[in-house]
Structure 1
Amino acid sequence: MAAMSGKDEHGRQRGGGFIAFVGLLSGHWRAVSVAVLLTVLGTAIGLAQPLLVKDIVEVAQEGKPVAATVLLVLLGLFLLHAAVDTLGRYVLERTSESVVRVLRRTMIGHLLRLPVRIYDRERMGDLISRTNADTTLVRDAVAFSFVDLVAGGVGVGGAVALMLWIDPQLFLLVLATVSIAGLALVGFLGRISTASEHSQAGVGDMAADLERALAAIRTVKASRAEAVETERIGRRADEAYVAGVRMAKLESVVGPAIELAANGSMLVVLLVGGIRVAQGGATLGELVAFLLYATYLVIPLTEMFQAFGTVQRGLGAMNRVSEVLALPEETGTEPSARVFTAPSGPVAGPQPPALEFRDVWFGYEERPVLNGVSFTVPRHAHVALVGGSGAGKSTVLALAERFYEPVSGKVLLDGHDIGEMSRFATRSRISLVQQETPVLRGTLLDNITYAAPETSRAEVEWVVDVVNLGGLVSRLPHGLHTEVGDHGVRLSGGERQRVAIARALLTSPSVILLDEPTSQLDPVNEAALTRVLRRVTRECALLVVAHRPSTVQAAERIVVLESGRVEAVGTHAELLTTSRTYAGLATGTLAGKAV
């Protein structure tokens, strides 16, 4: 999509909507051309009909019989006109759906490839609204406007030529009437695009707030906040209503102006034309033909004015779509072949660490978070990362997973700088198990194989055994093919954790990152997960952000972060005597609170 030029009153980029709109038709010109040709052909057939009507009326006025063949030709033209118009409209409708399908797929792929920092900034509901509601307006602009403008121009040109041929003076009167309506519309059509953009922005804000509430619906209900959220989202609906009314005011001028052009033209033709026929200045057949051509002039003009309004709304929506498509994507995320290789045990001989942070500095915008962090995670080791709130623990995981890039320093995977690797290659070797352990709607099998859908049944059975999910699978009514519900609501917290670990293991990673895996587990499930983690270290290394004493003490090595720096590294027993920070956490905050 073309980059946008210029800015609106809110400082947003504008001007590329039209270029992007035209660019949508790239690759579809053949189908669009067919639709245009069919519509133009239909218009030409329609323009021929009044001439036949004129001859029929004049023959009848002279008292002569009307030939049946002429009536059949007129009927044939009428039916052919309808058939050609119908076919042209179908081709265009199908093409517009194809165009918007491509646009939506482009947006979906683009949205899923944005850097994490953009997700941190943008509102998910608004991005979703741009993908569905705004693209629907773009579709309408493509389907109902482009051909109307082209074919309408042809129809207007043909009608004007034939009206000038039949009665130039009467045509000038019709032109004056239509011009009055046209002048009334010119100043409004350009403002419809901006009003439409504001209206869609209001709808997007409402969708964003609704998505926010529904994503946390259990918290909303438990907090008895239904009324609060209803009011909050309702205010967004009110804002969308105000913007919609503003656009309705502009569009309300279009209808009466078009009606003025249509009714005024008909009145002028009937009044002046009738007088001319009565005075012998024109024949009845000429008046009937002229009246029909006036209709052929006004109706295409009406459709063109309406098309302009639809295009303006589509351009407003296209501006919002282009804003999303202008956001930079992550690089190096292209898929490549992934072959499952069963993880092996430690190999003899010196080897680089599975993961190493070497003098890493990082901050969010102007807020420093990590200040020269250095530590290693040996192969097949279980390393715990502890520290107070804001020490930088989750940031370490985000940098390892390449959600962000260090300001300086290096992160090494198996001895290789991940900055020199593609993100796909990095993420295929480093798996992340988040604190909230997302489980997606679908079957248990879908969730386990989500990161490696090509895995075999034997591989699934292997990972189910490693993470101790066999009991769960046997209890479920349909085993691995049982639906787990939205966000995995039919599974317990411990079961979701193990599903997430199984999903991570199937990618054969060098390292699995776990963000506070036991924070929501009871002691029984915590102990079970600890046993699972012990088995997992036979397959790969673990870096675990932890705060519970049992989880921390289960690690072979503990890295203590303090104010974005590594304060100490060692075992639980060593750190109790060598690290004042760790000792304070272990005797105070560590016991049951976040570290």
Structure 2
Amino acid sequence: MRGEVLRLVAGHRGPVAAGIVLTLAGSGLGLAQPLLVRRAIEAAGSGRTAWAVIVALVALFLAQAALEGVVRYVLARTGEGIVLGIRLHLVDHLLRLRMPVYDRHRTGDLISRVGTDTMALRRVVATGFTDAVTGCLGLIGAAALMIWLDPGLFLLVAALVAVAAGALAGALRGMRSASLRGQEATGEMAADLERALGAIRTVRAVGAEGRETARIGGRARDAHAANLRTARFDALAAPAGDIAITGSFLLVLLIGGARVASGAASVADLVAFLMYMVYLTGPLGSLFEAVGVIRQGSGAVHRINEALSWPPEREGEVVPPQEPSRESRTLLEFQDVRFAYEPGRPVLHDVSFEVPRHGHVAIIGPSGAGKSTVFALIERFYDPDGGRILFDGHDVRRLDRGRYRSLIGLVEQDCPMLYGTLRDNLAYAVPDADPEDLDGVIALSGLSDLVERLPEGLDTPVGERGAALSGGERQRVAIARALLAKPRLLLLDEPASHLDADSEMALRRTLLRLSRECALIVIAHRLTTVRAASSIVVLREGRVTATGTHEHLMGHDAYYRGLVSEWLGHQRARGMSWT
């Protein structure tokens, strides 16, 4: 646990050290005061008033009080700085993870690690860690002076503190597991709430509010039970500190008073020792509380370190060429590509096909054939288990991911929209795009009427996940967003799925124009989109079973002819013509 905390505060050693030094300075001012009181009492016993000692005592007291205020601010600022630094690092890390990590973890849980867990960490670092260090050092200083004043009384105090520490250790053993379970349950609650709010229209439409409330409430009750278990351990740990502090004070008062009464010790020594006992309550209480705080926050520290240990994407060695090579007419090539999301369950088997620098390639096949996986491999969300994917003659596994992806435009089937304005979404890939380029992609994707109709034009908010737009409008926005980056390769996953007949015909004309400018790969289930392709790849059960033009496949592939017959039936039902 100590090593995990030190790793997290590694970049904040300066502020943490400043807080510790200031706390120790305050401790030093406090340690000097009992010695001055002892001298003042001894002077009074000899019939004189030590004004210089009294003035020094008042000055030390006021300086200590002022320093404590400074320390509180420094520690609070240090804690917030540490939380900010870890949050920024964690957010950057979470946004750069390998895709399989996102597949295994829920979005709400990842968000909880940035929010709830880092707040718990703030208390661990700013309070627990600092108090543990300063408490130990303060105890050492106080103990040294108490041994100098009265070794016998100190041994009694040390024995009582040791008994309390043993009781505390027993209570803290179960606190780590209870804390971790509480943080995990809180993350699960956040994940379930994000799940329900993300599909709130579906939840309302099917009347599932009660079921979702029960599900999320169950997670909240799990967190409540885990936190109560942590509180029970904390309740057992708290009396240990009281035993150590209050019990020691009473013991010293009784035994020390008896020794003064018998003449074995002086009143000045007893008062000084008692003042050190009073002073000792600070670092001793801080130390006991720090141990409890660190144990309670150990779950959050573990979850943050776990997230930071997840592997990010590795960068490539070669920067892909911005300009097309003249050596080959092929832009992208799959060579016997094999891939599985899980070992032993292959999705693609020796897939091979080529994509020319200009042209329209359609990938067709039943659900589960591996079409979306092909797109994921092209975008390098995953790397193939076998075979090669070449981009302009380079193995994509050796290319710099960021530069490579900048040459590829992706239009996903669900067309995710970001919270913000229409302009924010259109220019997401190119924030500093020229207005002329923006107007061009708006016209090319058929968004001109939408922009004119919206109350604030491009500056109109689109709502959460694009709720203010229709499915077809979100699709066109996604296409325009991809086109604005002027990609060399454009990937479109079922671009006609949300379009009406007229919009689909317009899309077909748009694809024809685009195929003259760059390479297009389209996952298609509509005949108009497929027939417009210059090359068609038939994918079934993770294998390429046929390639060629529409006319070639109609004459040589029975499966393709069956698909065309099925599509024609759908088109007639929609009142669309073949052309």
Q: Distance in 2 between matches of 1:292 and 1:456?
A: 73
Q: Distance in 2 between matches of 1:337 and 1:91?
A: 48
Residue 401 of structure 2 aligns with an amino acid whose one-letter code is R
- Rate the CA distance shift 1:479–1:282 in 2: closer, same or farther, 3 A: same
2:341 aligns to what? 364
Q: 2:452 aligns with which of 474, 479, 485?
A: 474
Q: Offset at 1:441?
A: 0.8
Q: Distance in 2 between matches of 1:163 and 1:408?
A: 72
Q: Distance in 2 between matches of 1:234 and 1:591?
A: 48
Residue 45 of structure 1 aligns with an amino acid whose one-letter code is L
Residue 427 of structure 1 aligns with an amino acid whose one-letter code is R
Q: Offset at 1:554?
A: 3.2
- Rate the CA distance shift 1:363–1:174 in 2: closer, same or farther, 3 A: closer
Q: Offset at 1:334?
A: 10
Q: 1:91 aligns with which of 74, 77, 81?
A: 74
Cα deviations by residue, 1:440-491 (Å, 9 ceiling, x for unpaired): 0112222112112232222222222222222222222332222212111112
Q: Please say if 1:433 is aligned against 2:411.
A: yes
1:453 aligns to what? 431
Residue 570 of structure 1 aligns with an amino acid whose one-letter code is G
Residue 426 of structure 2 aligns with an amino acid whose one-letter code is I
Cα deviations by residue, 1:184-220 (Å, 9 ceiling, x for unpaired): 1123334423332222112122222222222222222
Q: Is the 8 A contact 1:352 1:378 kept in 2?
A: yes
Q: 329-338 or 116-125: which moved more?
A: 329-338
2:258 aligns to what? 275
2:329 aligns to what? 352
Q: Distance in 2 between matches of 1:248 and 1:201?
A: 16
Alignment of 1:98-137 (within 5 A): 98-137=81-120
Residue 229 of structure 1 aligns with an amino acid whose one-letter code is E
Q: Distance in 1 between matches of 2:457 and 2:449?
A: 10
Residue 414 of structure 1 aligns with an amino acid whose one-letter code is D
Q: Distance in 1 between matches of 2:79 and 2:317?
A: 29
Q: Distance in 1 between matches of 2:416 and 2:536?
A: 26
Q: Offset at 1:528?
A: 3.7
Cα deviations by residue, 1:401-443 (Å, 9 ceiling, x for unpaired): 1112222222233343323322223212221110110110112
2:34 aligns to what? 50
1:35 aligns to what? 19
Q: 1:234 aligns with which of 204, 209, 217?
A: 217
Q: Distance in 2 between matches of 1:448 and 1:338?
A: 26
Residue 461 of structure 1 aligns with an amino acid whose one-letter code is D
Q: Distance in 2 between matches of 1:363 and 1:467?
A: 35
Q: Offset at 1:591?
A: 5.0
What is the aligned-residue RMSD (CA, Å)? 2.7
Q: 1:198 aligns with which of 176, 181, 198?
A: 181
Alignment of 1:10-25 (within 5 A): 17-25=1-9
Secondary structure of the 2:381 match is coil
Q: Distance in 2 between matches of 1:262 and 1:401?
A: 63
Cα deviations by residue, 1:312-348 (Å, 9 ceiling, x for unpaired): 3344322222222221111127999999x9xx9xx9x
Q: Distance in 1 between matches of 2:357 and 2:48?
A: 102
Residue 448 of structure 2 aligns with an amino acid whose one-letter code is G
Q: Distance in 1 between matches of 2:175 and 2:316?
A: 39
2:576 aligns to what? none
Secondary structure of the 2:352 match is strand
Secondary structure of the 1:354 match is strand
Q: 1:404 aligns with which of 382, 406, 413?
A: 382
Q: Distance in 2 between matches of 1:108 and 1:412?
A: 32
Residue 527 of structure 1 aligns with an amino acid whose one-letter code is M
Q: Which runs of 5+ in 2 are unaligned?
A: 572-579
Residue 3 of structure 2 aligns with an amino acid whose one-letter code is I
Q: Is the 8 A contact 1:352 1:415 kept in 2?
A: no
- Rate the CA distance shift 1:314–1:182 in 2: closer, same or farther, 3 A: same
Q: Is the 8 A contact 2:175 2:296 kept in 1?
A: yes
Q: Taking structure 2 as the reference length, what is the TM-score of the superposition?
A: 0.91
Secondary structure of the 1:474 match is helix
1:301 aligns to what? 284
Q: 1:257 aligns with which of 197, 215, 240?
A: 240
Q: Distance in 1 between matches of 2:348 and 2:141?
A: 72
Q: Distance in 2 between matches of 1:54 and 1:90?
A: 33
Q: 208-217 or 351-360: which moved more?
A: 351-360
2:312 aligns to what? 329
- Rate the CA distance shift 1:174–1:410 in 2: closer, same or farther, 3 A: closer
Q: 460-469 or 427-436: which moved more?
A: 460-469
1:519 aligns to what? 497
- Rate the CA distance shift 1:338–1:588 in 2: closer, same or farther, 3 A: closer
1:248 aligns to what? 231
Q: Offset at 1:60?
A: 5.1
1:7 aligns to what? none
Q: Is the 8 A contact 1:334 1:424 kept in 2?
A: no
Q: Offset at 1:526?
A: 3.0
1:485 aligns to what? 463
Secondary structure of the 1:300 match is helix
Q: Offset at 1:307?
A: 0.7
- Rate the CA distance shift 1:336–1:49 in 2: closer, same or farther, 3 A: farther
Q: Offset at 1:545?
A: 0.8
Q: 2:135 aligns with which of 148, 152, 155?
A: 152
Q: Is the 8 A contact 2:445 2:479 kept in 1?
A: yes
Q: Distance in 1 between matches of 2:139 and 2:66?
A: 21
Q: Distance in 2 between matches of 1:498 and 1:288?
A: 83
- Rate the CA distance shift 1:418–1:147 in 2: closer, same or farther, 3 A: closer
Q: Offset at 1:552?
A: 2.5
Q: Please say if 1:316 is aligned against 2:299.
A: yes
Q: Distance in 1 between matches of 2:22 and 2:398?
A: 55
